[in-house]
Structure 1
Amino acid sequence: MKAVFEFLVVILFFATYVLTKNIILATEVAIVAGIIQAAWCLFKYRRLQTMQWVSLLLVVVMGGATIYLKDPRFIKWKPTVLFWIMSIGLMISHLCDKNVLKSTIGKEISLPEPAWRKLTCAWVIFLLALGALNLWVAFNFTEAQWVNFKLFGSTTILVLFTIGQTVYISQYIKKDEL
């Protein structure tokens, strides 16, 4: 349920666009929904995770630019900027010997250091590529096709990559840990 709640802004953006074919209105809905979602998380959990703050800031700033300038290019850039920020964050943490993936999921999964490095590098490359793919779709296809890609395409690719990473990690899990 929490995953659906976190995905709610994208779903509302998509639903509004499908119903109205108006990307400006869909962006307005996404901004309001993002702010409400953040307020709810702050109320319920007393904090937002770093990436929730970054995503909120991006939707407000880039969505605001889209609305103010009536130019959908800004909101089309938002997923790419988010993916690239995540990628750069992982890369910097890796270079500083502070593996963010390990600190995030290392409590549940025990992996050798080389596996953590490979996992991090895979995510860095994947997020850079997914950001580039978003731009390619955004600026080479119709607005409606990009909106569909934003919800279905990038999400499916992300899920498939995560499954691949799970398969990679599974080789390190001992049978007694299951």
Structure 2
Amino acid sequence: MKDVFRRLGSDFLSTIVFLVIYLTTDNVILATAIAIVGAVGQVIWSRYKGQTLGYMTWASLGLVIVLGGATLLTHDPRFVLAKPAIGHAAIGLIMLKRGWMLRYMPPIVSETIPEYVTFAGYAWAALCFALAAGTIGVAMTGDMKLWAFYVTVVLIGAKVAAFAIQYVAFRLLVGNRLRAAARA
């Protein structure tokens, strides 16, 4: 689990850097420039250490450079604000693969209620698409404070809530199936 959070933190490091710099300086251009330099530095450092870089790292770097560059050239923050939406849409597309969640589940869940796990995988994809649409909507307002709130509270909160609901539902469903099998 710690490795998952480390990877997510690494994949979204430029967004985190952008938020921290923006919230401390209230300067979009400075935050964007530092986020671009940070993303490039992160890739250089990883390559120097001999690490293999995954698709998300390269995609994130490309988005930071292209969208950040557009923000710097136009002085319009909406470009860089759209980056999390693109990431969520891409992840949502990956989550449309049938059964993608099964390998992340404990054996008792994947063996007892595989059809519910598959359904939950599609629900996660739908959540990612909804969050991406919301991020675009908020980014289009150009309101930096609203966007900062959305990406730090709403995006994270929605995923935590979905995880909690899924956890409780799976526990109940597995328990019901096991009790039914014991009675039979």
TM-score tier (shorter) = 0.7 to 0.9
Mark the CA change 1:49 to 1:168 in structure 2 (over 3 Å): closer, same or farther. Answer: farther
Deviation, structure 1 residue 50: 2.6
| 1:130 corresponding residue in structure 2 | 131
Q: Structure 1 unaligned runs (5+)?
A: none
Would you say 1:101 and 2:106 are equivalent positions?
Answer: no
**In 2, Cα distance between the equivalents of 1:150 and 1:113?**
32
Matches within 5 A, 1:163-174: 163-171=164-172, 172=174
Deviation, structure 1 residue 26: 0.9
Mark the CA change 1:67 to 1:9 in structure 2 (over 3 Å): closer, same or farther. Answer: same
Identity %: 28
Query: Secondary structure at the residue paired with 2:52?
Result: coil
Q: Structure 2 unaligned runs (5+)?
A: 179-184
| 2:159 corresponding residue in structure 1 | 158
Mark the CA change 1:151 to 1:32 in structure 2 (over 3 Å): closer, same or farther. Answer: farther
Matches within 5 A, 1:2-21: 3=5, 5-6=9-10, 7-21=12-26
**In 1, Cα distance between the equivalents of 2:81 and 2:25?**
17
Mark the CA change 1:129 to 1:41 in structure 2 (over 3 Å): closer, same or farther. Answer: same
2:94 partner amino acid: G
Choose 1 or 2 for highest CA Rg.
Answer: 2
Task: Answer yes or no: is the 8 Å Cα contact 2:92–2:125 preserved in 1.
Answer: yes
Mark the CA change 1:9 to 1:141 in structure 2 (over 3 Å): closer, same or farther. Answer: closer
Task: Answer yes or no: is the 8 Å Cα contact 1:10–1:151 preserved in 2.
Answer: no
Query: Secondary structure at the residue paired with 2:95?
Result: helix
After TM superposition, the score normalised by the length of structure 2 is 0.74
| 1:117 corresponding residue in structure 2 | 118
**In 2, Cα distance between the equivalents of 1:33 and 1:11?**
10
Query: Secondary structure at the residue paired with 2:82?
Result: helix
Mark the CA change 1:26 to 1:120 in structure 2 (over 3 Å): closer, same or farther. Answer: same
Aligned pair count reads 169
After TM superposition, the score normalised by the length of structure 1 is 0.76
Would you say 1:145 and 2:146 are equivalent positions?
Answer: yes
